């Protein structure tokens, strides 16, 4: 049974005091003189109440939409393309929350760390766990900042209105990465394992179920993500210390693997890959693949927060797959389009051709003509009709469609990612080499789950297979990551750290082949169809652009530069 990490009235009031910033103040700086903040922090339980608020900053269902940035998905519901994706964005004059929200979280975490030194420490174990959670969230915030902006100001404590800290200049990303690692190492060392998080006095001092809190495995898994980002960024962008970060990623992932608290979900046989996103596979007792989740609840009467939309945004066409995703999926002989004799590209005879003899994950993730379907008006026993785009169905839950809202948890980290992090870190750290044993312990576990152990549906990845078929192991490792983690918000950021965005993002955004004789349910025929019949949603360069001299880092909002007294400088190319 899922718990609610309760955000009580007093914690919301306190959080409001801590987090609501003035537009005239730099970064996250706020007054600490309010009465509620002075009087609230008395004991370990108060520290816990303050810590609970941090969980409202966990990534949620907005995250998959980030796959639109890199062209793996697009918003066909509104017919719009993302400005990050097509290269038309400009420097934001005011903040767009990508800069200030992490700093608000940093201040809230710093405040908890400082208040822990002043309270009556009546429960040392609970106090230490609160510190671990606060340091995790501080690391999460800095990771988001470094990933987008590179060098950023580092605030290791709270600041008052007159404190010079609030006008700090940017700090090298390497220095910030070391601070992130220190926070995550502390969180991992002082958080319970997933199988101990259910909640006992001996573990946390908190009675009742505590599923959803930070665990040792969650901190380590996240560290593997962070370190892999840092290591590959440095390796492919000419930075230093790539091996240091890659080793950190490998060690963190390996620790999660060897401690044995997680496993791939296989509870629904051949459908397990997609079934894990249903209500029957949310909690640790049901699904040990979920390393970290943002909780939404079980029902309107037992909820943390609802998905406040009729259809969650990954399944209403606002995050539809593009042909890029379809073309990346392997054929059942283990070969990609262009190499496989099964390649149907350009030979489609109908809307189902794309799914024939393909990686089962493509088939499972896609709505296909004839699939069971349900509409928001409670009409049941429907079947999916003809569409000119690829609708993906991760997190599509029938119950949510019929009731108009949902409470399914969002999976922030799956064990599948840990395996992929280990495989990639191993390959990049070892001069482009990875053993078959390491492939069997990582990528091939994912393939076995996808095929329900039927290798005729997709062969295992081996060095011999790569060599015999003229493949590239790095490409195959990256392909596996893209397919397994599709529509979970990874691909754009992966393109940035791999330094492949300059090649991938200027490519055309393409949907499926258009068949003029089909009834598309009254939809307006697409305007742009190429000579081969494929629907072009946006043409390639020069229409789509990616400037490698500036677009690998995001522009800092100009207002934030001014508020820093110009101590914060703009990223290259965005001046």
Spatial separation of the C-alpha atoms in residues 52 and 55, rounded to whole Å: 6
Q: How much is the average pLDDT of 96-109? A: 95
Mean pLDDT of the chain: 87
pLDDT of residue 309: 40
Lowest-pLDDT choice from 133-147, 175-189, 310-324: 310-324
Which residues are registered as beta bridge partners of 534?
513
Spatial separation of the C-alpha atoms in residues 519 and 500, rounded to whole Å: 38
pLDDT of residue 451: 98
Spatial separation of the C-alpha atoms in residues 465 and 423, rounded to whole Å: 17
285: DSSP letter: T
The dihedral through the CA atoms of 531, 533, 537, 541 has a sign that is negative
| 553 neighbors 493 (Cβ within 8 angstroms) | no
Q: Is the pLDDT of residue 185 over 70?
A: yes
More confident residue, 402 or 486: 486
Q: Is the pLDDT of residue 202 over 70?
A: no
Tokens linked to 513 = 């082949």
Q: How much is the average pLDDT of 154-179? A: 94
Q: How many residues does the chain have?
A: 575
| 89 neighbors 574 (Cβ within 8 angstroms) | no
Question: CA nearest 142: which of 57, 259, 234?
Answer: 57
Q: Is the pLDDT of residue 14 over 90?
A: no
- What residues have CB less than 8 Å from 263, skipping those under 6 apart? 288, 289, 415
Summarised one tens digit per residue, pLDDT across range 318-372 is: 889 999 999 999 999 999 999 999 999 999 999 999 999 999 999 999 988 888 8
Q: Is the pLDDT of residue 81 over 50?
A: yes
CA R_g for the chain = 24
What 3-state class would DSSP assign to 400? Answer: helix
Spatial separation of the C-alpha atoms in residues 422 and 436, rounded to whole Å: 13
pLDDT of residue 389: 85
Tokens linked to 202 = 């001996």
Question: CA nearest 70: which of 549, 424, 498?
Answer: 498
pLDDT of residue 492: 98
Cα–Cα distances (Å) from 147 to 36, 54, 256, 448, in that order, read: 35, 20, 23, 32
Lowest-pLDDT choice from 249-253, 382-386, 439-443: 382-386
- What residues have CB less than 8 Å from 251, skipping those under 6 apart? none
Spatial separation of the C-alpha atoms in residues 17 and 36, rounded to whole Å: 8
Lowest-pLDDT choice from 196-200, 215-219, 242-246, 498-502: 196-200
Spatial separation of the C-alpha atoms in residues 129 and 191, rounded to whole Å: 6
Confidence class of residue 385 from pLDDT cuts 50, 70 and 90?
confident
Confidence class of residue 494 from pLDDT cuts 50, 70 and 90?
very high
- What residues have CB less than 8 Å from 289, skipping those under 6 apart? 262, 263, 264, 265, 276, 414, 415, 416
Q: How much is the average pLDDT of 451-457? A: 97
Confidence class of residue 552 from pLDDT cuts 50, 70 and 90?
very high
Per-residue buried b or exposed e for 169-204, using 16+ beta carbons within 10 Å of the residue's own CB? ebbebbebbebbbebbbbbbebbbebebbbbeeebb
Summarised one tens digit per residue, pLDDT across range 221-277 is: 999 999 999 999 999 999 999 999 999 999 999 999 999 999 999 999 999 999 999
Q: Which of 32-36, 193-197, 274-278 has the highest mean pLDDT?
A: 274-278
- Phi and psi dihedrals of 529, rounded to 5? -125, 130
pLDDT of residue 379: 58
Spatial separation of the C-alpha atoms in residues 216 and 187, rounded to whole Å: 7
- Phi and psi dihedrals of 48, rounded to 5? -65, -45
pTM for the model stands at: 0.91
Confidence class of residue 211 from pLDDT cuts 50, 70 and 90?
confident
């Amino acid at each position: 049974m899922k718990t609610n990490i309760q955000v009580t009235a007093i914690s919301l009031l306190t959080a409001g005091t801590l987090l609501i910033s003035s537009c005239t103040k730099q970064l996250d700086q706020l007054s600490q003189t309010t009465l509620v903040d002075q009087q609230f922090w008395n004991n370990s339980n108060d520290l816990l109440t303050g810590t609970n608020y941090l969980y409202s900053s966990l990534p949620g269902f907005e995250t998959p939409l980030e796959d639109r940035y890199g062209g793996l998905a697009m918003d066909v519901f509104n017919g719009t393309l993302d400005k990050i994706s097509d290269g038309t964005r400009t420097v934001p004059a005011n903040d767009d929350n990508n800069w200030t929200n992490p700093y608000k979280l940093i201040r809230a975490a710093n405040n908890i760390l400082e208040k822990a030194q002043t309270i009556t420490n009546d429960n040392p174990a609970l106090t230490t766990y609160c510190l671990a959670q606060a340091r995790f969230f501080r690391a999460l915030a800095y990771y988001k900042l470094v990933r987008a902006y590179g060098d950023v100001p580092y605030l290791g404590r709270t600041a008052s209105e007159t404190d010079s800290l609030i006008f700090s200049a940017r700090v090298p990303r390497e220095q910030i990465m070391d601070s992130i690692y220190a926070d995550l190492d502390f969180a991992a060392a002082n958080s319970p394992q997933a199988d101990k998080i259910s909640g006992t006095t001996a573990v946390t001092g908190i009675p009742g179920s505590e599923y959803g809190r930070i665990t040792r495995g969650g901190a380590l898994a996240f560290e593997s993500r962070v370190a892999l980002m840092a290591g590959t960024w440095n390796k492919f962008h000419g930075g230093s210390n790539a091996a240091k970060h890659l080793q950190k990623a490998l060690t963190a992932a390996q620790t999660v693997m060897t401690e044995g608290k997680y496993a791939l979900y296989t509870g629904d046989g051949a459908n397990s890959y997609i079934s894990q996103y249903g209500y029957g596979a949310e909690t640790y007792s049901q699904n040990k693949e979920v390393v970290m989740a943002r909780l939404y609840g079980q029902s309107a009467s037992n909820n943390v927060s609802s998905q406040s939309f009729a259809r969650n945004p990954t399944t209403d066409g606002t995050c539809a797959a593009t042909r890029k995703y379809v073309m990346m999926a392997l054929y059942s002989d283990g070969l990609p389009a262009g190499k496989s004799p099964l390649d149907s590209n350009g030979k489609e005879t109908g809307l189902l051709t794309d799914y024939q003899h393909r990686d089962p994950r493509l088939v499972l993730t896609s709505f296909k003509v004839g699939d069971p379907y349900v509409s928001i008006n409670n009409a049941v026993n429907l079947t999916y009709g003809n569409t000119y785009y690829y609708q993906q169905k991760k997190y599509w839950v029938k119950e949510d469609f019929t009731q108009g809202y949902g409470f399914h948890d969002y999976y922030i980290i799956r064990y599948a990612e840990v395996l992929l992090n280990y495989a990639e870190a191993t390959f990049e750290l070892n001069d482009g080499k990875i053993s078959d044993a390491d492939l069997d312990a990582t990528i091939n576990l994912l393939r076995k789950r996808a095929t329900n152990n039927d290798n005729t549906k997709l062969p295992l990845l081996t060095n011999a297979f790569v060599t015999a078929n003229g493949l590239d192991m790095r490409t195959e490792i990256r392909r596996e990551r893209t397919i397994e983690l599709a529509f979970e918000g990874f691909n754009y950021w992966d393109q940035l750290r791999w330094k492949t965005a300059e090649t991938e993002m200027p490519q055309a955004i393409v949907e499926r082949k258009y068949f003029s004789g089909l009834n598309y349910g009254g939809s307006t025929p697409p305007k742009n169809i190429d000579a081969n019949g494929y629907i072009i949603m946006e043409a390639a360069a020069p229409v789509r652009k990616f400037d490698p001299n500036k677009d690998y880092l995001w522009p800092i909002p100009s207002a934030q530069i001014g508020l820093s007294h110009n101590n914060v400088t703009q990223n290259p190319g965005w001046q």
